Amino acid sequence: MLGIAPLARPEISTARLRLVAGDAGIAPAVCEFQRRNRQHFAPWDPPTADSFYTHEAQAARVATGLAAFTNDTAYRYWLIDATRAGGARLPSSDVEVIGSLHFSQVSRGAFQSAMLGYALDEAHVGQGLMTEAITAGLAEMFSPRVNLHRVQAAYRPENVRSGRVLERLGFRQEGLAPDYLYIAGAWRDHVIVSMRNPSFIAPDGW
């Protein structure tokens, strides 16, 4: 459970998904999600050691994520299939995690921005689920509750499917960043894209 009320809602429902910040009980399902998809994510994600796939490491990751959610430094949602029996109301300890959506590196001051990362279980791609999840997550980040001005994402040019998700959502290309992230054994170029919030509310004093 989250202690202090965070700015973002800890649970959001879409037609087919629940986006949940979760609680400590969700860690085993997160661990299974990461284990199942280790090969699927490897070409696009930072390298991970075997120790990343242990229950202890994932429990610590979930705890860190929950603290960040409360502190307005990062908002990670786990994706749950709401169309499965019980999916719309199961407690964290009984759910299957099928994806993640992460608004990280929240920066306030003059920037008011965050970095978007996402990943979907291999068995669930090609149904428009990530488009559905990001649409709901972005609406939350751009709502008066969180009030970010900009969300940035980056993808490898080879990741055609990921590029299509962002294009479909209306992210604008800003350029190609050479040697941007260390992925799959080398520094990889990334396409940088962003979305700005037309409804951003200027804080007092601006």
Residues 170, 116, 202, 147: what is their CA dihedral angle, to the nearest 10 degrees?
100
Nearest to 50 by CA among 32, 62, 60, 38: 38
DSSP 3-state of 117: strand
Q: Which parts of 36-75 interact with ligand COA (CB under 6 A)? A: 40-41, 44
Which residues, 6+ apart, have CB-to-CB distance to 44 below 8 Å?
119, 155, 156, 159, 162, 183
Q: How far is the CB of 114 from ligand COA (least distance, A)?
A: 15
Q: Which stretch binds ligand COA (CB under 6 A): 58-66, 68-76, 116-124, 140-148?
A: 116-124
Which residues, 6+ apart, have CB-to-CB distance to 60 below 8 Å?
none
Is 165 a residue that touches ligand COA (CB under 6 A)? Answer: yes
Q: Which stretch binds ligand COA (CB under 6 A): 49-57, 84-92, 123-131, 141-149?
A: 123-131
Nearest to 197 by CA among 161, 150, 162: 150
Q: How far is the CB of 124 from ligand COA (least distance, A)?
A: 7
Is 159 a residue that touches ligand COA (CB under 6 A)? Answer: yes
Is 80 a residue that touches ligand COA (CB under 6 A)? Answer: no
DSSP H or E run through 167: helix 160-169
8 Å CB contact between 168 and 130: no
Q: How far is the CB of 51 from ligand COA (least distance, A)?
A: 21
- C-beta of 104 vs 147, nearer to ligand COA: 104
- C-beta of 59 vs 192, nearer to ligand COA: 192
**Binding residues for ligand COA, per CB under 6 A?**
40-41, 44, 118-120, 125-131, 155, 159, 161-162, 164-165, 168
